[in-house]
Amino acid sequence: MLTSFAILTDGLVYAAYLFIVAIGLTLIFGVMKILNVAHGSFYAFGAYGAATAVGIYANADWPAALGFLFMLVLAMTIGLVMGIILERGLLRQVYGKDEVITVLVTYATFLILEDVIVLLWGPQSYAAYQPMVSAGNIEIGGLVLSNYDILLVAIAAALALLAYWSLKFTRYGWLLTTVIFDRETAAAFGVNVTLIYTVTFIIGAMLGALGGAVMAPKIAVTLGIGVEVIVLAFAVVAIGGMGSIEGALVGALIVGICRAAAVHLVPQLELFVIYGVMALVLVVRPYGLFVRAQPRKI
């Protein structure tokens, strides 16, 4: 009984982590059809930015909530700036070209940004644990849970709701949906696709940085944290379906719970879980879980 409860809570926390990390990527991928390898850099910059922010406010002795907000705002600002620079400066040059070229550009950018991190923050690791530790813990049903983990789940849920609401009820959301569905027809109807692209990329970058910022208090912020995140985010996007927010959510939940179950019950399988789930989902649903009906183009 305790184990089942633990599996559920652990699954939710891991799913929250995956979802926060993947939502920016699935947005960029769904709209622009770009596999943004530099998403790992957004995550890393967000984490390092958060570590710096925590350093600032911890020394200045701010109240925890204010400090946490500051951390998030700083990270998202970094994401905003990076998104603008990358989109305007680099991606514009390669829009018309083969999609694979764009992937190459984002990969080269990722390599460069990894070393920009070294130049800005040095090779040592940083700690940003204050928000997590000050949040304390709570005991539910015999299991001690970290309040920060619960906050993470809340943030992920809020992001999901925000994304859902924006897509269904705001003008930008409708335009986004049309561009995801069929870019050429949308452009033919007068939708400013270039502007949509820019805004989407920037939002994706901010979400990536936000992901890094909320995870920073839990982990050690060190070189290479962007690398593993990339493949996790890709996997969740592949499971959920291109450009589908619901898909990313469901994909994250499935992987999260399966992984938690593996750790508790059959630890040997933990290494295979995400790839096994991805392979299984793709075998059953070749276009991911939430595939949009695609018109057949003859």
What is the closest distance, in whole angstroms, from the C-beta atom of residue 163 to other proteins in the complex?
20
Rounded Cα distance, 41 and 209, in Å? 8
Residue closer to other proteins by CB (options 122, 192) is 122
Residue closer to other proteins by CB (options 142, 190) is 142
**Is residue 58 part of the contact set for other proteins (CB under 8 A)?**
no
* Terminal Cα distance for the chain, rounded: 55
**Is residue 218 part of the contact set for other proteins (CB under 8 A)?**
yes
What is the closest distance, in whole angstroms, from the C-beta atom of residue 2 to other proteins in the complex?
6
What is the closest distance, in whole angstroms, from the C-beta atom of residue 119 to other proteins in the complex?
7
Task: Give the CA count within 13 Å in the CB-facing half-sphere of 276.
Answer: 11
Binding mask 113-152 for other proteins (x = CB under 8 A): -xxx-xx---xxx-x-x--xx-xxx-----xxxx-xx---
Binder of other proteins out of 60, 169, 268, 295 (CB under 8 A)? 268
**Is residue 157 part of the contact set for other proteins (CB under 8 A)?**
no
Residue closer to other proteins by CB (options 162, 280) is 280
- Residue 106 has a CB neighbour count (10 Å cut-off) of 22
| DSSP string for 93-148 | GGTTS-HHHHHHHHHHHHHHHHHHHHHHH-SS-EE--HHHHHH-EEEETTEEEEHH
Residue closer to other proteins by CB (options 249, 289) is 289
Can you read off the two tokens belonging to residue 178? 């049309």
φ and ψ of 135, to 5 deg: -70, -25
What is the closest distance, in whole angstroms, from the C-beta atom of residue 186 to other proteins in the complex?
20
Task: Give the CA count within 13 Å in the CB-facing half-sphere of 76.
Answer: 11
**Is residue 89 part of the contact set for other proteins (CB under 8 A)?**
no
